[in-house]
Amino acid sequence: MSWTDERIDTLKKMWDSGLTATQIAEELGGVSRNAVIGKAHRLGLPARPSPVKPNEAKAAAKAAAPAAKPAPAPAVAATPAPAPTAPE
């Protein structure tokens, strides 16, 4: 498959209309999604935002994670009761 002027025009129109590279590849036939992306890049067509979400969710989960519990206070022995005194 070669990129004819007609196929390039179709690619440009479909790209501008917002179709995905996969949809364009299926419509053109004989090309892969990556071939469409590469051709769009070489033609200087505007880049698309990545469908992959940044790791904001992971970062938020880490930030919201509860802090480690503080170490328990050392146990203090109870003060011994005073010894009984003998009655006088």
Domain boundaries, position 8: 1-48
Using alpha carbons only, what angle is made at residue 9 by residues 41 and 7, rounded to the nearest 5 degrees?
90
pLDDT at residue 56, as a whole number: 66
Domain membership flag for residue 57: no
Domain membership flag for residue 41: yes
Q: How many domains does the chain have?
A: 1
pLDDT at residue 2, as a whole number: 84
Domain membership flag for residue 68: no
Q: Per-residue pLDDT tens for 3-50?
A: 999 999 999 999 999 999 999 999 999 999 999 999 999 999 998 877
Domain membership flag for residue 11: yes
Q: Which of 42, 38, 12 is nearest to 27 (CA)?
A: 12
Domain membership flag for residue 87: no
Domain membership flag for residue 35: yes
Residue 54 in this model has a pLDDT that exceeds 80: no
